[in-house]
Amino acid sequence: MRHILIVLSFMFIVVNNYWLNCVAENDLERLHKIQSLLCVPNKTDTAIVDKVIECEHKHNITAEGIAFAKKLETKLTDCSNKANVSAYTKVDQTVMVRKQALIMYCDKEFFNCLVKVFVDNKDLMNEQGRIDKSQDEAVKAKTYQCVLDVFKN
Ligand SMILES: *[C@@H]1O[C@H](CO)[C@@H](O)[C@H](O)[C@H]1NC(C)=O
Ligand SMILES: *[C@@H]1O[C@H](CO)[C@@H](O)[C@H](O)[C@H]1NC(C)=O
Ligand SMILES: *[C@@H]1O[C@H](CO)[C@@H](O)[C@H](O)[C@H]1NC(C)=O
């Protein structure tokens, strides 16, 4: 779980604001761009996924962010169980963190499920909004650039 926290916190931001209909243009564009590059089942392989995960590793997540993700762990697991990334046959999914990264970025069911978690729980939504405000845009931009660089060659 810890390894994918940055992806998660990014997804929380998009999902939460997506529902509120005020997702920052920037964040949604970034998500769609990453999806267009990463979510290509017959192209994306183990090495690509590992590099994307590595980008997330370079940046620390706050203790507050970790606590929040922990709180959501059961719901996240439920949402993940509905996901299907079996089309990504070039990715060795026996390593859980790879499968999780694919699910979070690429599975539409997971996204919708996560939206519903926030919609159904206003306290979580508000808490996420608060955490989001404390997150450093520079860090988000750096992580995003790192992911883009994975696909440069
Ligand atoms: C991957 O699939 C797409 C759509 O099905 C196809 O257009 C493309 O040529 C395929 N690429 C490879 C490398 O097989
Ligand atoms: C991340 O946190 C660890 C331990 O708290 C620290 O040693 C490291 O320098 C931090 N890395 C970054 C990129 O901030
Ligand atoms: C998962 O998706 C694949 C196609 O990508 C499909 O063949 C398979 O039946 C799906 N599995 C489930 C459990 O829905």
Name the residue with the closest Cα to ligand 2, atom 13.
59
pLDDT for res 84: 94
Ligand having the closest approach to the CA of 41: 1
Contact by Cβ (8 Å): 7, 104: yes
- Sketch the domain layout of the chain as residue ranges: 2-150
pLDDT digits over 45-95, tens only?
A: 999 999 988 887 766 667 787 788 888 888 888 898 889 999 999 999 998
pTM for this model (two decimals):
0.82
List C-alpha distances in Å: 69 to 5, 8, 74, 84: 7, 8, 10, 22
Of ligand 3's listed atoms, the one at least distance from the Cα of 87 is 5
Of 90 and 146, the one with more pLDDT = 90
Residue 140 has pLDDT above 90, yes or no: no
Of 135 and 147, the one with more pLDDT = 147
Residue 115 has pLDDT above 50, yes or no: yes
Ligand having the closest approach to the CA of 139: 2
Ligand 3: residues with CB < 6 A are 84, 86-87
Measure 83 CA to ligand 3 centroid, in angstroms: 10
